[in-house]
């Protein structure tokens, strides 16, 4: 009782002050430890030195918020889709917590007006607002606990700004994600048509390769150039996300070309491979290979038929 009364008095005392006023409109409650929230909006480009010599910014809170967000979204998705399998649940969670989605929600919440960053840093094509949202979640968790954090993610972030059923059906644009990732890391990437042919039914088939700095990292086939590019990008992203040896190679290549180090979470920001699509299993790599082999056999047979018989 006394705790509630104290919080009520505190709210009335600070509600007209900034940043309490702006945070109350976003969160629906008045923060206890305002310093946590101020740090959540402090980008590393504007780090400040504390009294004990530590540099303060929102990266540690972002790390915490990312883990809390993953756990809570997993619980929400698990309860919402009671008959779906693990692959679908993983893919849906990934779409909700991906940087593009978080960045959009952060801007709609108005966090772009609260983040403090260096004037030299451009916010264009940058996920600093989505990162700040994760840091804010970390601040809420430390300040108010898990239940309040759950309420914020479920009732503010998801119910107001995300349609779970719609986002679950949304297909990931692997090509765009791969291009955005390569631009962010200053690495050259290209999609090249390897060949085109027809399958047994006479349908055109395209085979595309993805090359990253002169190294082929993915090959895909499809019944259109766009489909083959998406398939190739998906294979490339899977390799970048899961192949530790290749990750080391890319990190060294980036260091050599740009002089910059690769962040620990850089590869994790790439979208996870979609396991299901609108409730249907996607074509597996084995099936794709079989189609290619079948098409190759058709090409070979056609070539043999075209050779004139010897007299």
The partner residues of 215 in beta bridges, in order of sequence, read 212
Is 131 annotated to bind ligand? Answer: yes
Is 32 annotated to bind ligand? Answer: no
Full strand arrangement of the beta sheet holding 204-212: 189-198, 204-212, 215-222
Q: Is the dihedral of CA 53, 59, 62, 67 positive or negative?
A: negative
The partner residues of 198 in beta bridges, in order of sequence, read 204
Binning the chain into helix, strand and coil, the percentages to the nearest 5 are 60, 10, 30
The answer to whether residue 134 is catalytic is yes
User: Which listed residue (59, 86, 134, 310) is catalytic?
Assistant: 134
For residue 58, which of 5, 115, 121 has the smallest C-alpha distance?
115
Q: Is the dihedral of CA 177, 178, 184, 185 positive or negative?
A: positive
CA distance 21 to 56: 24
From residue 38, give the alpha-carbon distance in Å to each of 33, 43, 118. 9, 10, 16
Can you read off the two tokens belonging to residue 198? 């027809």
Is 195 annotated to bind ligand? Answer: no
For 120-135, the DSSP string reads TS--TT--HHHHHHHH
The partner residues of 212 in beta bridges, in order of sequence, read 189, 215
Beta carbons within 8 Å of 278's beta carbon, 6+ residues apart? 169
User: Which listed residue (66, 143, 272, 276) is catalytic?
Assistant: 66
Burial of 287 (0-12, 13-18, 19+ CB in 10 A): exposed
CB 194 within 8 A of CB 209: yes
The answer to whether residue 188 is catalytic is no
- Binding-site residues sit at 62, 131, 134
- Binding-site residues for Mg(2+) sit at 62, 131, 134
Active site residues per annotation: 66, 134
């Amino acid at each position: 009782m006394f705790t509630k009364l104290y919080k009520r008095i505190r709210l009335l005392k600070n509600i007209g002050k900034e940043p309490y006023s702006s945070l109350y409109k976003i969160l629906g409650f008045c923060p206890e430890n305002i310093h946590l929230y101020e740090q959540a909006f402090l980008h590393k480009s504007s780090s400040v030195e504390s009294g004990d010599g530590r540099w303060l910014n929102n990266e540690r809170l972002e790390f915490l918020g990312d883990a809390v967000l993953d756990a809570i979204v997993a619980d929400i998705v698990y309860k919402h889709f009671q008959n779906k399998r693990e692959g679908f649940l993983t893919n849906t969670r990934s779409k909700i917590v991906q940087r593009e989605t978080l960045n959009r929600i952060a801007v709609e919440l108005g966090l772009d007006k609260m983040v403090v960053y260096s004037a030299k840093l451009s916010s264009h094509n940058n996920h600093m607002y989505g990162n700040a949202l994760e840091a804010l979640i970390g601040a809420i968790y430390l300040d108010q606990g898990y239940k309040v954090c759950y309420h914020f993610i479920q009732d503010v972030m998801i119910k107001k700004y995300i349609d779970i059923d719609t986002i679950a059906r949304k297909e990931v644009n692997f090509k765009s994600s791969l291009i955005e990732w390569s631009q962010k890391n200053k690495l050259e990437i290209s999609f090249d048509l390897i060949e085109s042919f027809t399958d047994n039914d006479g349908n055109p088939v395209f085979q595309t390769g993805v090359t990253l700095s002169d190294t082929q990292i993915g090959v895909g086939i499809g019944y259109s150039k766009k489909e083959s590019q998406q398939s190739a990008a998906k294979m490339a992203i899977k390799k970048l996300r899961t192949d530790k040896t290749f990750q080391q190679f890319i990190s060294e290549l980036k260091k050599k070309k740009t002089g910059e180090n690769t962040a620990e979470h850089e590869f994790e920001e790439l979208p996870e491979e979609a396991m299901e699509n609108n409730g249907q299993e996607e074509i597996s790599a084995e099936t794709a290979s079989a189609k290619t082999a079948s098409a190759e056999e058709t090409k070979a047979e056609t070539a043999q038929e075209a050779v004139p018989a010897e007299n």
